[in-house]
Amino acid sequence: MEMTSEYAGDLQIVTVNSTRIDAAAAIQFKDLMREMTAESNKPVVLDLSQVEFVDSSGLGAIVAAMKFLGKERPLHLSGLTPIVAKVFALTRMDRVFKIFTSVDEAKNLDAARSA
Amino acid sequence: MTQLGAHDETPPAQVADHPDTLPPLTLRFQATAHNARSALCDLRKALMADSRLSEMTLSTVEIVLAEVTNNIVEHAYEDRGTGDVALHCEVGQGVVHFVLEDAGKPYPRGQLPEKRLHDLDQDLASLPEGGFGWGLIRDLTLSLSYDRSGGQNILSLSIKNEPA
């Protein structure tokens, strides 16, 4: 699994450069998220536009990342592809996250800066 | 690794007469998260060759079978680490049938778990990080049944072929 990080103003954008966050990748995803978000306190936008598939383990890992970032540091999502959006909708976890259509949309909205 | 082969009990399919229909197939693999992923990718490729199946159906199949195979890896074989899994697939009229066999532990009380309803209006720290799998399986399957026979778990399920 590959992930990259950049800063856009007062947001940290973490991009998943892999096509699957599944049971085989969930632990690594959590470890990388912890590592990559350790260096700042900025709200995080997780760019999932290259991720074609998420299963319940991957979904759980994304929720775990939201939890370890804590209340003061929101984790938002952007760029959900069709299967990923379907898994979030069926499990109702789309209500738990703020979801942007793209990283650009997140950058342009003040909403991304707050929980 | 995954072995792709014709269904054991089925005579050779008349491929020439029906070029875009997939004959029944069986995938066999050792239960690990990586092998389950490979099997799902192989299955998607095989099902893509069947012109009757929509992209939405392929997605539903992938979501459901990911949960079912993860359950086998994480629960049925949790004591011994791994074991054999057979995944049989047959495309029917408006539906895709699957049978999964493993030699792991039976389901508790011989029953498949129900969908778990999470309370999402709670503290961040209390949000669920798991327990989504059976909800997805039950929401996305047309039929679902479980049998324990000869030391094997036999899970049969079907998924509706959504029109494109």
Could you read off the pLDDT of B4-21 as tens digits, one per residue? 554 555 555 544 555 588
Task: Say what the pTM is.
Answer: 0.90
Confidence of residue B120 (pLDDT cuts 50, 70, 90): confident
Q: Look at residue B121 in the predicted model and tell me its pLDDT.
A: 84
- Kindly list the residues from chain A whose CB atom is less than 8 angstroms away from the CB atom of residue B132: 56, 59-60, 91, 93
Alpha-carbon span B108 to A52, nearest angstrom = 33
Instruction: Give the C-alpha distances (Å, rounded to integers) separating B79 from B32, B68, B82, B104, B116.
Output: 13, 18, 8, 9, 24
Kindly report the nearest CA distance between residue A90 and chain B, in angstroms: 7
> ipTM score of the complex?
0.92
Q: From first to last of its 115 residues, what are the pLDDT tens digits of chain A?
A: 999 999 998 999 999 999 999 999 999 999 999 999 998 999 999 999 999 999 999 999 999 999 999 999 999 999 999 999 999 999 999 999 999 999 999 988 766 676 5
In this complex, which of A63, A82, A93 lies closest to B59 when CB atoms are compared?
A82
Residue A94 is which amino acid? D
Distance from B90 to chain A by nearest Cα, in Å?
Answer: 22
Rounded to 5 degrees, what are φ and ψ at A90? -65, -35
- pLDDT value at residue B17: 55
Question: Do residue B66 and residue A64 have CB atoms under 8 angstroms apart?
Answer: no
Q: How far does B16 lie from chain A, in Å, by closest CA?
A: 33
